[in-house]
Amino acid sequence: MSRIGNNPITVPEGVTVEIQPEVITVKGKLGELSQPYDSVNIKQEDGQILLSRPSESKAHKAKHGLYRALIANMVQGVSAGFTKELELVGVGYRASNQGQKLDLALGFSHNIVFELPTEVKVETISEKGKNPIVKLSSHDNQLIGSIAAKIRSFRKPEPYKGKGVKFVGEQIRRKAGKSA
């Protein structure tokens, strides 16, 4: 079994953690996040957050590791933030943004205009001779992950030429074409 839940979470300078009976709230320079929890005991001491489970049942073990990971992501998010980069691979694929509106040209008859939440900052990078890159940054890891997955779902990478929207560094499993 995983022992992730036993690892303490170090709280950096400038981050405040407020633990209430059903909700934990983390505030930092980049924002504020809160997470409801149950089946775990959370306590803060010496600049660290410690989680413990009430019993050794399977459900308590699972939630122990889950809430430890979620709280660690909250602490990292409000102090340093998260970024995800998507690469548009394909001839004529373009990306541009005006404020919180992301305009994607992905080979369809019309451009896709995607409205982003205010918590997510978007930046598009288009250099000549390179694939366009969409850079998303936010303090909320769950939100940025779901937004990046939604953008990727508009045109998933296909296995023959590798065209589509992919994460930077993602390996696409390629297939051989027809043999003559």
Q: How far apart are the first and last CA of the chain?
A: 50
How large a percentage of the chain has pLDDT more than 70? 98
- Provide the CB-side half-sphere exposure for 80 (13 A, CA): 8
Q: 17 and 44 in contact (C-beta within 8 Å)?
A: yes
Q: Is 153 left (phi over 0), alpha (psi -120 to 50) or beta?
A: alpha
Q: What is the pTM of this model?
A: 0.88
Checking if the pLDDT of 163 tops 90, the result is yes
Please check whether residue 115 is in contact with residue 122, taking contact to mean a CB–CB distance below 8 angstroms.
Answer: no
Q: Is the alpha carbon torsion for 54, 60, 62, 67 positive or negative?
A: negative
Mean pLDDT of the 64-71 span? 94
What value does the mean pLDDT of the chain take? 93
pLDDT at residue 164 above 60? Answer: yes
**CATH 3.90.930.12 region(s) of the chain?**
4-79, 82-167
Task: Compute the distance between CA of residue 153 and CA of residue 145 in angstroms, rounded to an integer.
Answer: 12
Alpha-carbon separation of residue 9 from 41, 48, 82, 86, 129 (angstroms) = 14, 5, 17, 30, 43
For range 131-141, the mean pLDDT:
96
Domain spanning 4-79, CATH architecture: Alpha-Beta Complex (3.90)
CATH superfamily of 82-167: Ribosomal protein L6 (3.90.930.12)
Checking if the pLDDT of 40 tops 80, the result is yes
Backbone angles phi, psi at 64, to 5 degrees: -60, -50
Asked if residues 50 and 8 have their Cβ atoms less than 8 Å apart, the reply is yes
Beta-bridge partners for 95 = 104
Tell me the C-alpha distance between 8 and 137, whole Å.
Answer: 26
Query: What element of type H or E holds 75?
Result: helix 58-79
Length of the chain: 180
Rounded to 5°, angle at Cα 171 from 165 and 175: 90
